[in-house]
Amino acid sequence: MNRNEQLFNRAKNVIPGGVNSPVRAFGSVGGTPRFIKKAQGAFVWDENGQRYIDYVGSWGPAIVGHAHPEVVEAVREAALGGLSFGAPTEGEILIAEKIAEILPSVERVRLVSSGTEATMSAIRLARGYTGRDKIVKFEGCYHGHSDSLLVKAGSGLLTYGNPSSAGVPEDFTRHTVVLPYNDTEALSQCFAEFGNRIACVILEPVAGNMNLVKPSAQFVHTLRRLTEQSGTVLIYDEVMTGFRVALGGVQSVHGIVPDLTTMGKVIGGGMPLAAFGGKKEIMDCISPLGGVYQAGTLSGNPLSVAAGLKTLEIIQREGFYEHLNALTERLVNGLNAAAQAAGATFVADSIGGMFGMYFADKVPQSYADMQASDVECFKRFFHGMLEGGVAFGPSAYEACFMSAAHTPELIDETVATAAKVFAQIG
Ligand SMILES: *Cc1c(COP(=O)(O)O)cnc(C)c1O
| Res. 154 pLDDT band, cuts 50 70 90 | confident
Instruction: Quote the pLDDT of residue 160.
Output: 77
Active-site residue (options: 54, 237, 259, 369): 237
In the annotation, is 369 catalytic? no
Between 3.40.50.720, 3.10.20.30, 3.40.640.10, 3.60.20.10, what CATH number should domain 69-315 receive? Answer: 3.40.640.10
Q: Which residues line ligand 1 (CB under 6 A)?
A: 114-116, 119, 142-144, 204, 208-209, 237, 239-240, 264, 274
Domain positions in the chain are: 1-30, 69-315
Residue among 258, 191, 256, 260 at smallest CA distance from 217: 256
| Cα–Cα dist 385/5, whole Å | 19
Query: Over the stretch 31-67, which tens digit does the pLDDT of each residue have?
Result: 999 999 999 999 999 999 999 999 999 999 999 999 9
- Asked if 296 and 112 touch (Cβ cutoff 8 Å), the reply is yes
pLDDT of residue 59: 97
Q: Which of 286-323 are b and which e, b meaning 16 or more Cβ less than 10 Å from the residue's Cβ?
A: beeeeebebeeebbbbbbbbbbbbbbbbbbeeeebbee
d(C-alpha 106, C-alpha 261), whole Å = 7
Average pLDDT over residues 250-266: 97
C-alpha 405: how far from its chain's center?
20
| Annotation says 237 is catalytic | yes
Q: Residues 197, 229: contact at Cβ < 8 Å?
A: no
CA distance 118 to 137: 15
| DSSP, res 37 | E
- What is the per-residue pLDDT for 161? 84
* Residue 230 identity (one-letter amino acid): S
Question: Where does residue 203 fall: left (phi above 0), alpha (psi -120 to 50 degrees), or beta otherwise?
Answer: beta
Q: How far apart are CA 415 and CA 54, in angstroms?
A: 13
For 286-306, the pLDDT digits (tens) are: 999 999 999 999 999 999 999
Print burial letters for 226-251: b (CB count within 10 Å at least 16), e (below 16): bbeebebbbbbbbbbbbbbbbbebbb
Spatial neighbors of 191 by CB under 8 A, at least 6 apart, are 198, 226, 229, 230, 232
Tens digits of per-residue pLDDT, 321-335? 999 999 999 999 999
- Probe target for ligand 1 pocket from 209, 236, 276, with the most ligand atoms within 8 Å of CB: 209
